[in-house]
Structures are given as C-alpha cells and as structure tokens.
A and B are shown apart, each in its own frame.
Chain A
Amino acid sequence: EDQVTQSPEALRLQEGESSSLNCSYTVSGLRGLFWYRQDPGKGPEFLFTLYSAGEEKEKERLKATLTKKESFLHITAPKPEDSATYLCAVPSGGYNKLIFGAGTRLAVHP
C-alpha cells in the first residue's frame, strides 16, 4: 500500500534558524512527489514537484530534494511568514490521486 510519512509533526524555529523537514514515501513506481504549503483555514498551495532521485528545486528560502526513499524540504534563514503546515504527497493509482502525509506544522518566531 502506498504511504507517506512526514517528520517531525511540529517544528518551532527562531527566525534565521535553518532546518529541514522530512517526507518518507513508499510507492510502487514513483510518478512525482509534490510539496504543498497550507496556511490555517486555507487550501494547500502548490510549491514543488520532483520527479527523479537527485532532483532539486528552489523557491526563495525553500529547497526541495529527492532521493529514492525520501524528500527533504530545506528552509534557509526562515522568517515568521514561513510559518505554515507543509504537506508532501505522491500520486497513487489512476488520475493522479494524491496520497498525503499528515504534514509538518512549522512555527517561526521572531
């Protein structure tokens, strides 16, 4: 059964304190790994798609990387506005049904 596990569940950082979020996955035939950001009370906002091991993508203070078993979302010098829940997901089955992890709740304090 396809599965996605994220760690840690919650992360508290001081502004400027870099860290990484982990997404481990088990899927038969990876067809991409998606990262989303979700603010409280809102829908997930697309950040990145990664398709093959070794691939990296960057957006502002965020960098996503992919290996054969996991993905990391690196946050460099975070700011309070980076506070959100970060979700990763993999397509499973037909029509790209997404299997989500439970997310990492990130809080960045000034």
Chain B
Amino acid sequence: DAMVIQNPRYQVTQFGKPVTLSCSQTLNHNVMYWYQQKSSQAPKLLFHYYDKDFNNEADTPDNFQSRRPNTSFCFLDIRSPGLGDAAMYLCATSGGAEDIQYFGAGTRLSVL
C-alpha cells in the first residue's frame, strides 16, 4: 500500500495560473520534503518541514510556497508558474531510525 501519496499524478496549468500539488502520508513521519526533478536531472530539494518548522532552501524561488496543516498533509503552491517550472515534483517523508526518505510517485507538472 502506498505510504506517501501525491495528487494529482499529472497536472496541466497555464502560464501564470496558480497551482497546488498535494502530498499525504500514512507513516506518521515528522519530516516532509518537496523536491523538483527536471528531465534526466537529480532531484533538487525545494524546502522541508520538521513538524511545523518550515525550512526553505536558499535558492528556492519565491514563486514556490508550502503549507503543512497537520502531520499527514503537505501542499506545494506555485503562485505564478512559468515554463521553466515544468517538472516532476516529488514529496518525501522521513522519521524512522535510519532517516530513510520515502518518496511518493510524484506529480508531473506541465505549463502551457
């Protein structure tokens, strides 16, 4: 059974139209991460939450925001998507003894 669930799997939006991606987890992990992965590139961390403590990477554009209303859910908001934001967005969680990060299946975002 999927433990990190991302919705939707595919999202198409228009240039400049806000979009929200969703992640939920059944692992009760206290850390949640959002990564951006462009084609044939390494996943790149955008930000993460330790419980409700938000941590932004220095090079994450202001266009990207995140919310974590409770332990189970985390959202990625892209306020004004540009063509360069088309990518796979991966959510991950960690909190076990070995600090392994478990990933969801990802959301593929297309910007028209």
User: Nearest CB to that of A39 among chain B residues?
Assistant: B105
Distance in angstroms between the alpha carbons of A96 and B103 in the assembled complex = 14
Binds A, one of B40-48, B64-72, B75-83: B40-48
Are the C-beta atoms of B43 and A95 separated by less than 8 Å?
no
Chain B interface size, as a band, is 20 to 34
Given contacts A100-B42, A102-B41, contact A95 B100 (CB under 8 A): no
Q: Counting chain B CB atoms within 10 Å of each CB, which of A4, A41, A87 scores highest?
A: A41
Smallest CB–CB gap between A97 and chain B, Å? 5
Interface SS of chain B: strand
Distance in angstroms between the alpha carbons of A18 and B101 in the assembled complex = 28
Q: Is A43 close to B, CB under 8 A?
A: yes
Smallest CB–CB gap between B104 and chain A, Å? 5
Chain A residue contacts of B73, Cβ below 8 A: none
Q: Is A98 close to B, CB under 8 A?
A: yes
Chain A residue contacts of B102, Cβ below 8 A: 46
Q: Is A71 close to B, CB under 8 A?
A: no
Q: Is B94 close to A, CB under 8 A?
A: yes
Known contacts A43-B6, A100-B43, A103-B40; 13 further A-B pairs (Cβ under 8 A): A43-B4, A43-B92, A43-B104, A43-B105, A45-B103, A46-B101, A87-B42, A91-B99, A97-B33, A97-B48, A97-B57, A98-B45, A101-B42
Spell out B's residues near A (CB within 8 Å).
4, 6, 31, 33, 40-45, 48, 50, 55, 57, 88, 90, 92, 94, 98-106, 108
Q: Identify 20 residue pairs between A and B in the complex whose beta-carbon atoms are under 8 Å apart, listed by A's number.
A: A34-B101, A41-B106, A41-B108, A42-B105, A42-B106, A43-B4, A43-B92, A43-B103, A43-B105, A44-B43, A45-B103, A46-B103, A49-B100, A87-B43, A95-B31, A97-B45, A98-B43, A98-B101, A101-B42, A102-B41
